[in-house]
Chains A and B, each alone.
Chain A
Amino acid sequence: MCVLAGTVVFSNLARAEYGDVVINNYSDAQNIRPVVFPHWFHRIRFACKVCHTDLGFKFKAGGNDINMVKIVDGQYCGACHNGTLAWSVKNCNLCHSGKPGTATQVHESTTQELTVPSSAPAGKR
């Protein structure tokens, strides 16, 4: 009982972390959930250089023109997320896991903390 209860607490713990990047360049228009990219999970496995030099990601949320065609062509996320090093693109919901309408942002970034919370509908900062 205690074990299961403990598991409840643990599996309800945060799945959004400092440094998570919501990418919503095209998702809303395509009626699919925006992508949540977790920096922490990738930091454990890769140095910053791998993505930001070797794979060409710019240091800007929404600043990379990523779309599924490019991903499947092996660019950007697709360099690893092709079923070999990491999960393949068939798992839509593992990447496209953000709340619909969430604007492109870096979660808990300094500039986010400095702005007044918006009472406008989700999607507007």
Chain B
Amino acid sequence: MTVRAIILWLILLTMAEAQGLHAAENMLPSNSRSSLETVRQKLQLVKTLLAKSPAIERAARSDDPAVQRQAMAAHALYAKANDALGAGDATQADALLDKALQLIENATRQAPDPLQAEKAQQTRYTELLGSVHGLQATYQDLSMRLTSKKTFAPPAEAARISTLIDQARSLAHGLHYSEAGELLKSAHALLITALNKLLGSTTLMYDLKFKSASEEFDYEMARYHSYEELVPIAYVELKPSEDSIKLSERFVQESREMKVRAKQQAASGDFASAIGTMLEAVKKVQAALQLVGLVLPE
């Protein structure tokens, strides 16, 4: 009997979910739908939208009379809802406001902002161009590292990729960012396919082998900076006490002195000591971070 009950419940649940949220909305207990505070806030929202929404402004100026009518209707509904709420009928006001909001949403869809769309397309075009260039650089770098010849061999589709990019650029010059973006997406896909083919099943190793002591020193300096720039972030995120911050600042200051010393050591050619000093400097900054509450696994 229990098993049947469970199965029945599971069926109920699945069927209920299958209906999605639309049914759920209509099942809101009526007292929640027209809770006075919510309706008042909705009234305020509609008032603000009618006054400030660029969508309504565009709809009111639209060439399409149907769209204009919707904008006018929204205003009228707001006025009626205001009266209804004033008369104490929150349910009626709520229903009218819902209709007004629907009209406002329709107006946006029917009178979209061309400037906004163009700006979005331009941003996307710039992003895609950056990505495509990045992929080209990566392909070049990897093809030199991975192939036995250590020379740059362009991908099979190189000519087509170049053409797509050039065409995209000229479209962008003519402000046709959407079409330019589409071409770049194709170039993007071709480059990724080419990269996948070049890589095969190779795993790239980002190891810590240095060609010279000077290179290792630069690496340690960069590593130090990457920790140092975390300190203000840690203060903001972890919100430590003032005493912790004071002590932590002292550690950071000491680490900076070590950095200066290390630079001097490096300048005089003693990279071994310089690297050692930088390692100590990093340990100091790590201690500064731990002081303010950052628990590091190592």
Instruction: Choose from A56, A69, A78 the contact partner of B52 (Cβ within 8 Å).
Output: A69
B residues near A84, Cβ cutoff 8 Å: 109
Alpha-carbon distance between A101 and B25 when the two chains are bound, in angstroms: 26
Instruction: Choose from B98, B112, B237, B295 the contact partner of A90 (Cβ within 8 Å).
Output: B98
Instruction: Choose from B41, B112, B116, B127 the contact partner of A32 (Cβ within 8 Å).
Output: B41
- Say whether A111 faces chain B, with CB atoms less than 8 Å apart: yes
Alpha-carbon distance between A69 and B237 when the two chains are bound, in angstroms: 31
Alpha-carbon distance between A49 and B61 when the two chains are bound, in angstroms: 34
Say whether, besides A68-B49, A73-B113, A90-B101, A7 and B9 are in contact (CB < 8 Å). yes
What's the least CB distance linking B278 to chain A, in Å?
A: 27
Say whether, besides A56-B123, A114-B293, A115-B238, A68 and B45 are in contact (CB < 8 Å). yes
Of chain A, the residue at the smallest CB distance from B236 is A111
Find residues 94-108 in chain B having any chain A CB closer than 8 Å to their own CB: 97-98, 101-102, 104-105, 108
A2 touching B41 by the CB < 8 A rule?
no
Of chain B, the residue at the smallest CB distance from A86 is B21
Find residues 129-181 in chain B having any chain A CB closer than 8 Å to their own CB: none
Say whether, besides A82-B109, A111-B238, A115-B239, A6 and B53 are in contact (CB < 8 Å). no
Of chain B, the residue at the smallest CB distance from A82 is B105
* Main secondary structure on A side of the interface with B: loop
- Say whether A59 faces chain B, with CB atoms less than 8 Å apart: no
A residues near B41, Cβ cutoff 8 Å: 30-32, 92
- Say whether A64 faces chain B, with CB atoms less than 8 Å apart: no
- Say whether B55 faces chain A, with CB atoms less than 8 Å apart: yes
Against B, the Cβ 8 Å flags (1 = close, 0 = not) of A1-37 are 1110011001000000000000000000011100000
- Say whether B268 faces chain A, with CB atoms less than 8 Å apart: no
- Say whether B261 faces chain A, with CB atoms less than 8 Å apart: no
What's the least CB distance linking A39 to chain B, in Å?
A: 17
B21 touching A69 by the CB < 8 A rule?
no
- Say whether A123 faces chain B, with CB atoms less than 8 Å apart: no
A residues near B120, Cβ cutoff 8 Å: 56
A88 touching B101 by the CB < 8 A rule?
yes
Say whether, besides A92-B41, A115-B293, A6 and B9 are in contact (CB < 8 Å). yes
B32 touching A73 by the CB < 8 A rule?
no
B residues near A75, Cβ cutoff 8 Å: 116
Instruction: Choose from B2, B9, B25, B55 the contact partner of A91 (Cβ within 8 Å).
Output: B25
What's the least CB distance linking B13 to chain A, in Å?
A: 7
B residues near A56, Cβ cutoff 8 Å: 120, 123
B residues near A90, Cβ cutoff 8 Å: 42, 97-98, 101-102
Against B, the Cβ 8 Å flags (1 = close, 0 = not) of A34-75 are 000000000000000000011010000000000011001111
- Say whether A125 faces chain B, with CB atoms less than 8 Å apart: yes
A residues near B102, Cβ cutoff 8 Å: 83, 88, 90
Say whether, besides A3-B8, A68-B48, A88 and B295 are in contact (CB < 8 Å). no
Find residues 25-76 in chain B having any chain A CB closer than 8 Å to their own CB: 25, 32, 38, 41-42, 45, 48-49, 52-55
- Say whether B283 faces chain A, with CB atoms less than 8 Å apart: no
The 4 closest A-B CB pairs, nearest first, are: A3-B9, A90-B98, A2-B5, A82-B105
A-B contact pairs, 28 of them (CB 8 A): A2-B9, A6-B5, A7-B9, A7-B12, A10-B13, A53-B127, A54-B124, A68-B45, A68-B49, A69-B49, A69-B54, A72-B49, A72-B101, A72-B108, A73-B53, A73-B55, A73-B116, A74-B112, A82-B109, A87-B25, A88-B102, A90-B42, A90-B98, A91-B25, A92-B45, A94-B25, A115-B239, A125-B239
Which residues of A pack against B, CB within 8 Å?
1-3, 6-7, 10, 30-32, 53-54, 56, 68-69, 72-75, 78, 82-84, 87-94, 111, 114-116, 125
Which residues of B pack against A, CB within 8 Å?
2, 5-6, 8-9, 12-13, 21, 25, 32, 38, 41-42, 45, 48-49, 52-55, 97-98, 101-102, 104-105, 108-109, 112-113, 116, 120, 123-124, 127, 237-239, 293-295
